[in-house]
Structure 1
């Protein structure tokens, strides 16, 4: 690795917001560590970025539902001599259904991917950033982390609220060491997410003004962490929703969330 080029590790880099982060950071002169389960997609992305930006990419296929993955990723970085300057904890998915409608292992895997793995990767990579006096961590949370929880996708909003609070604490703990930490909280974003959760048909009925592209989310996230924002909600509509939610009485906010969530949640009791 060249000392002159920053290095960014991006989880969930094979599609959607993760791939958009890879393109945005490659355009800024970063070398990349691309992490996801779909190795073929990672290699295709790495080759495209090499041809366009001269980016060097280390492809690491990993399933973050495996509790050993963060340690193995860290060991691979050390073996290859990669010092990570930017960590983008982006990997994530939705688990349709109520809590009791899914087997416990499905929930355990979800918690591992959405909460434990991002925390462990930060724990493993922050010391190096602090030692070098510079670093950036983006935890891709969600507007769902601010609005009341819904019936169905039981752990999704909870996991995103966790990432927001984690980011706030990490930002305070590391700001004097030159490390910025930001919780990026997008709302509806064009990606494969809703195809995987089986809600694409419902999503297509949502007004287009409520949506942002993955590229917009990634670019705004990069700018936000660079200027030191600790929590950032991209999109004016999303910021309005966050503000309204905070101003409404809890009981009314919860009722509205329950009513509106039926439009885009598959509850599967």
Structure 2
């Protein structure tokens, strides 16, 4: 690989982000670990540096703050770090319903999961293309393929956007040495459902065979971007579901989505 490359990962403190960091470290990449919580980042950095002889830089950032992408990029540049790859993984979900969720929280969700990934790609992609090497992984979701779910009204549309956005970047980056892939996992064991308070509901509603392990999602995602595959859907069951979802009439899909929301007590 020549000079060691550096991958920036948002939402690296836990879950899929932390597992992608472990995959990249094992493959010899240096890292920029980004999240709001410093303590888990420092622990992960120490683990990866000791285990893989790489550098894992810690940068704390609140990606929900206004102008977060520019502030983060400036902080990275101030430390003299070059970003050769980007994993847009940071995210969360509000499940209290569209009209009962604080508008400020909704704006934060849009910034963290939509605006900041677009802005970071715009800030760092040109230099990757100029150097002739880059990797971008956007973490979306199976929700991006399915009909909208009531009660968690913003999440699916944001993930649909990320799928289309990633596809456009992949097309524009062909021949440049920059690989772009979007990973679309289904239900995955992470802190995600603990943070938004839905752990008990989703665990009761869906059987164990529907759940993925975060380390498997991370391996599949990084394998896909190294191979320059524009999309990665971990697990054959979810690959099958993505095909079926395209064939369902909207009337059936929306009834299914409504049943899903009722299971999770979101409507």
Range of TM-score over shorter length: over 0.9
- 2:249 aligns with 249
Task: After superposing the two structures, state which structure 1 stretch, 241-250 or 135-144, moved more.
Answer: 241-250
Normalised TM-score (structure 2): 0.96
Aligned length: 266
Match of 1:258 in 2: 258
Residues 142-190 of structure 1 deviation map (CA, whole Å, 9 limit, x = unaligned): 0000000111111000110010010011111111211111111000000
* Equivalent residues in 2 for 1:120-269, closer than 5 Å: 120-205=119-204, 206-263=206-263, 265-267=264-266
The CA RMSD over aligned residues, in Å, is: 1.4
**1:31 paired residue number:** 30
| Alpha-carbon distance between aligned partners in 2 of 1:227 and 1:3, rounded to the nearest angstrom | 18
Contact preservation (8 Å) 1:83, 1:128: no
CA shift for structure 1 position 3? 6.6
CA distance in 2, matches of 1:23, 1:37: 19
- Give the secondary structure class of the aligned counterpart of 2:9: strand
Residues 60-116 of structure 1: CA distance to partner in whole angstroms, max 9, x if unpaired?
100100122211221122222222111000000111122111121111111000100
**Alignment gaps of 5+ in structure 2:** none
Task: Compute the displacement of 1:244 (Å).
Answer: 1.0
Normalising by structure 1, what TM-score?
0.96
Matched residue, 1:81: 80
* Superposed CA offset, 1:34-79 (max 9, x none): 0000001100100011111112111110010012221122112222
Retained in 2: the 8 A contact 1:148–1:254? yes
Q: Which residue of 1 aligns with 2:44?
A: 45
Cα distance in structure 1, aligned partners of 2:186 and 2:39:
28
Report the CA distance between 1:257 and its aligned residue.
Answer: 1.9
